[in-house]
Amino acid sequence: MTEKDLNLIATHPLQTWQWGEFRRAWGNHIKRFSFGQITIHRLPMTPFSVAVFDKGIAPTKKMLEELKSYAKQNNVLFVKLEPNILKNKKTIDILKKAGAVPGKTLFTPTTFWIDLTKTKEALLESFHPKTRYNIRLAERKGVTVQIDNSTEAFETYLRLTKETAKRQGFYAHTEAYHRLMWKYLHTDLTEQKKQPIANLMTATFNNEIITTWILFQWKDFLYYPYGASTDKYKNVMANNLMMWKSILYGKDQGLKTFDLWGREPGKGFTPFKEGYNPQVVEFVGTWDLVCSPLYWAYVAADWVRWRILRLRALLRKG
């Protein structure tokens, strides 16, 4: 499988050659097939592994048989699949017949899509009135938004990511992870004079970068996987203008859809995203292709492990 061949069939950034090389450099074993790539993850203190096939093409009987064969030859207990296709009965039937069972999710089963083929006026009109108001407020306050891939802007992104994770109490990838991702999805591609997959959008207020978003671009899609901001100037509504300018950026690039990278009803950034009147789409979901009877022992052990971790967290809070 060559870079050209893989990127030709990849329908999502996580299936690109560059993402695979990034994950390899991060320490994962990568296996490529004619239909995409999987990451292999060793289970500590065992000879066994699990595999993840994230955002791949629609599974077929032949594909699943090939994955099973590889797994059985390489002590892989199961292959976790999250196909990059919308929910449909045919695909679910194929997965079930191959021995796949519903698994613990990596990505949310639903996400938001914004149609970038609509006119600027139609998009604005579709937004919630409060969202439109906040966009205009940010502009009146003097917030400016642009693509800024400079070293200074990226260093600010790293700093704001730490700040945001600490403030909101969520898990964030390490600085080393983000630096390596940026190298493979932006810097290396730019040096090769190729279209980068990752770009950095920034919002500036009072000559200070206060909000940063990483945007992925692949085929006809724009994605919003990572964002960070300071709590210093919440009243200038920079995030609202960031989303609007990201939409306009996608339109300028000739893209068709803006995928907001997940939806958790009532949680996190979801209410904010809903202000832009996106379409809710549901994927086929998360499926574990069982390749060993030891899979069930793994599931039981994983259940116990998470209960212990949650209990520890509760005890700390107490």
Q: How far apart are CA 216 and CA 259, in angstroms?
A: 10
Strands 49-54, 36-42: pairing kind: antiparallel
Q: Smallest Cα–Cα separation from 95: which of 70, 61, 125, 126?
A: 61
Helix (H) or strand (E) holding 82, with range, is strand 76-82
The DSSP string of 9-55 is H--SGGGSHHHHHHHHHHT-EEEEETTEEEEEEEPTTSS-EEEEEET
pLDDT value of residue 313: 56
pLDDT value of residue 75: 96
pLDDT value of residue 166: 84
Query: In a 3-state reduction of DSSP, which class is residue 110?
Result: strand
pLDDT tens sequence across 158-204: 999 999 888 877 777 899 999 999 999 999 999 999 999 999 999 99
pLDDT value of residue 311: 65
Comma-separated ranges of CATH 3.40.630.30 domains in the chain: 3-107+283-317, 110-282
Per the structure block, which two tokens stand in for 248?
């306009």
**One CATH from 3.40.47.10, 1.10.10.10, 3.40.630.30, 3.40.630.10 for 3-107+283-317:** 3.40.630.30
Q: Smallest Cα–Cα separation from 255: which of 282, 288, 221, 232?
A: 221
Q: Which residues pair with 287 in a beta bridge?
A: 81, 102
Q: Which residues pair with 289 in a beta bridge?
A: 79, 100
Domain 110-282 listed as CATH 3.40.630.30: yes
| Positions in the chain whose pLDDT score sits under 50 | none
Provide CB contacts within 8 A for 110, sequence distance 6+.
263, 280, 281, 282, 283
pLDDT value of residue 309: 64
